Homo-oligomer: A and B are copies of this chain.
C-alpha cells in the first residue's frame, strides 16, 4: 500500500503530520505491519519529536539555525553552491543531518510511537514549498 502525502510549508519550522498519517492508516484498514515514510526532497527533513511543548520545536529550529547559518554568514563563506539563495545550501546540510526516511512499526492500526512523539516535516527553506512524503505500509 502506497500513497503520497502533500505538505504545504510556509517557511522554516516543524509541521506536524501525525494525524494525517493516522487517517491514512485507518482508511486502508491497516492493523499490523510496518509503515515507511520517505521525504522526496533534499532541502527538508522528517523528524520524530516531542509533541507537547511547542517551545521544543522553536528551540530545535534555533539550534539548527546556529549550527548551519545562512550562506551570507561570514562563517559560511566557504560555500560554493549559493546561487539558489542564502538558505539553500544550509537547507541541504540540514537535510543531511536529519532523517529523510523513517520506519515505524504499526500495531492495532496505530503507529507504535511513544506518548510524547509526533511525526513532523522539518522545512529548511524560507519560501513556501509543496513537499511530498511517500508513505508505504506492508
Contact = CB atoms under 8 A, between A and B. Distances in A.
Interface of A: 2, 32-34, 36, 38-42, 47-50, 53, 55-56, 58-60, 62-63, 66-68, 78-81, 89, 92-93, 95-105, 107, 112-117, 132, 134-136, 138
A49 B89 CA distance: 11
Contacts of A80: 55, 58-59
B92 A40 contact: no
A10 B49 CA distance: 22
A93 to B, nearest CB: 5
Chain A interface SS verdict (over half): mixed
A41 B52 CA distance: 13
Interface-centre pick from A95, A100, A113 (highest chain B CB count, 10 A):
A100
Contacts of A104: 38, 101
B38 A100 contact: no
Contacts of A66: 78
Nearest to A40: B114
Interface-centre pick from A63, A66, A89 (highest chain B CB count, 10 A):
A63
Contacts of A68: 63
A47 B96 contact: yes
A56 B89 contact: yes
Given A2-B112, A99-B99, A104-B101, A50 B56 contact: no
